[in-house]
């Protein structure tokens, strides 16, 4: 069974469009994350949610809006897509954030290409 899944795997779209990437985890974890990996493979955290509550919001344009309908899902909606948004977006999850580290499990990634 897939632990952390993302859809779609590839997303090609035009500048100015609005798109969403979905993430689901079946591990029963409390915390979910979105990371962005740019063309140079540099990975940076964007958001973190714990039990549907936003706990980390790094410096990300407000065109990016995470939505967590329940603790198993964390979707990423992007408005007015720009060329610089082209990247691979990874979803991840972990058990909780109670001050004790718990391993993060990553999804397979969504490659977004903005034309």
Partner 1 sequence: AQSVTQLDSQVPVFEEAPVELRCNYSSSVSVYLFWYVQYPNQGLQLLLKYLSGSTLVESINGFEAEFNKSQTSFHLRKPSVHISDTAEYFCAVSRRAGNMLTFGGGTRLMVKP
* Nearer of residues 31 and 75 to partner 1, judged by Cβ: 31
Task: Figure out which of the listed residues 7, 45, 73, 77 binds partner 1, where binding follows CB under 8 A.
Answer: 45
* Nearer of residues 81 and 91 to partner 1, judged by Cβ: 91
**Least distance in angstroms from the C-beta of 20 to partner 1:** 19
> At 95, is the secondary structure helix, strand, or coil?
coil
Q: Does 1 bind partner 1 (CB under 8 A)?
A: no
> Phi and psi of 84, rounded to 5°?
-70, -10
Q: Does 86 bind partner 1 (CB under 8 A)?
A: no
Task: Figure out which of the listed residues 26, 44, 61, 80 binds partner 1, where binding follows CB under 8 A.
Answer: 44
* One-letter-per-residue 3-state SS of 13-66: ECCCCCEEEEEEECCCCCEEEEEEECCCCCEEEEEEEECCEEEEECCCCCCEEE
Task: Figure out which of the listed residues 7, 65, 102, 113 binds partner 1, where binding follows CB under 8 A.
Answer: 102
Q: Does 59 bind partner 1 (CB under 8 A)?
A: no
Q: 110, 6 in Cβ contact below 8 A?
A: yes
Q: Does 101 bind partner 1 (CB under 8 A)?
A: yes
Tokens of 92: 């991840």
Q: Does 104 bind partner 1 (CB under 8 A)?
A: yes
Q: 30, 71 in Cβ contact below 8 A?
A: yes
């Amino acid at each position: 069974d897939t632990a952390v899944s993302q859809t779609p795997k590839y997303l090609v779209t035009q500048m100015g469009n609005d798109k969403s990437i979905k993430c689901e985890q079946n591990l029963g974890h409390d915390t979910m994350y979105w990371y962005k990996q740019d063309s140079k493979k540099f990975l940076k955290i964007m958001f973190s949610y714990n039990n549907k509550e936003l706990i980390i919001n790094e410096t990300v344009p407000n065109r990016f809006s995470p939505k967590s309908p329940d603790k198993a899902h964390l979707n990423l909606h992007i408005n007015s897509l720009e060329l610089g948004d082209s990247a691979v977006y990874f979803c991840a999850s972990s058990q909780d954030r109670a001050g004790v580290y718990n391993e993060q499990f990553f999804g397979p990634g969504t490659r977004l290409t903005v034309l």
